[in-house]
Amino acid sequence: MTDSAYRVETTSRLAQWRIDNLSSCTYRKSDPFKIGKWNWHLSVEKNRVLLIKLYPEISNFTRETPPIASFIIKVVCSVGDRKALIHPEIKDKQLKNNEDFIWAVDVPLTGKFIIDVEFLDLKIASPTGGEPCSIWADGQTQKQSNTTALFSLSKMLTEGIHTDIVIHASNGSIGAHRAVLASRSPVFRSMFSHDLKEKELSIINISDMSIEACQAFLNYIYGTIKHEEFLFHRLDLLQAADKYDISDLKEACHDSLLEDIDTKNVLERLQNASLYQMPKLKANCMRYLVKFGKIFDIREDFDAFLISADRELIAEVFHEVLGAWKGF
């Protein structure tokens, strides 16, 4: 018996095992064949009926992420009129071992025949506990495309590929691309569309940002900012988002600033919330100071706040304090 007797021919979703002669043995197992992320086996066992099994090869990957398969399996006589026995379609069946799918063929088979398996879909369990995810979903192509596009944008920025605008920060300069900036900000688009100095000189002055903060700002615009970088520069990013009307960045900063209010930053965040018109952040800072009584833990800082803060904001704080006292 040659090695070819165990080989399964495959395309991306189709597997065929040609068996020339089963009469000389009662059991045969195919070589492993790759479909999707898994190696698979077919086996046949001749007893009172012919048992056909399909199962993934046992491995750590299979144990951790067993396939959830949809497929059509049939047995085709490879001579004559190629009559076929077709099993009813299998839909979303999890296969972990060689007992999970067994087809008992009770029609006598002689001579040469083909076991044909067409995989309609292969899924893996969602890591978040939701619906299983197809490994062949259309979203995979989109995800790959998005990843490649972001990598290309990052490369354009970091390597200065065909930059056509220079941004002057307070302590340095960096090149960028008009088209990218204009697509992300209506303010930048207006600069480049009208006869302003930015269009004529190909220079944008952002003197109220450091080069590091400006780099973080551009990294966000180009879709490549790291989480740690975002956290470190989020107040500067909030200022830039407001100035250049980038609403998604402003929302991201707002949501992030809500998450870690404490006695060291609450007064600064309260002022920023008032300045950039973020009522939810403002309400949360007020609640932290007044309802939870943290205003008494930062008396020195609060005294400095009373000297420098906007008068209307100070009035709002005292209004909240009086309201809290009345309700105590």
Domain count for the chain, please give it. 3
pLDDT in tens, 162-189: 999 999 999 999 999 999 999 999 999 9
Is 314 a domain residue?
A: yes
| Whether the Cβ atoms of residue 242 and residue 215 lie closer than 8 Å to each other | no
The answer as to whether 256 is a domain residue is no
| Same domain for 79 and 53 | yes
> Is residue 213 domain-shared with residue 107, that is, in the same domain?
no
268 found inside a domain: yes
Q: What is the structure's pLDDT at 1? A: 42
Residue 206 has pLDDT above 60, yes or no: yes
Distance CA 29, CA 58 (A): 14
Residue 45 sits in the same domain as residue 78: yes
Give me the CATH number covering residue 209. Answer: 3.30.710.10
Residue 291: the pLDDT is 85
Q: Say whether pLDDT at 40 is over 50.
A: yes
Backbone φ and ψ for 121, nearest 5 degrees, come out as: -165, 150
Residue 1 lies in a domain: no
Q: Which residues contact 31 (CB under 8 A, 6 or more apart)?
A: 3, 6, 7, 8, 41
The CB density around residue 71, as the number of other CB atoms within 10 Å, is 22
pTM beyond cutoff 0.75? no
Phi-psi region of 111 (alpha: psi -120 to 50; beta: other; left: phi over 0): left
Statement: residue 110 has pLDDT above 50: yes
CATH number at residue 110: 2.60.210.10
Out of 216, 249, 282, a domain closes at 249
- In angstroms, the CA 168 to CA 171 distance is 8
Residue 140 lies in a domain: no
| Region 30-47 average pLDDT | 94
Question: Has residue 3 been placed in a domain?
Answer: no
Range of the domain at 75: 8-135
**If DSSP codes are grouped into helix, strand and coil, which group holds residue 181?**
helix
Q: Is residue 144 part of a domain?
A: no
The reply to whether 17 and 126 lie within a common domain is: yes
- How does strand 203-205 pair with strand 165-169? parallel
Residue at a domain's end among 78, 106, 135: 135
- Would 321 be classed as within a structural domain? yes
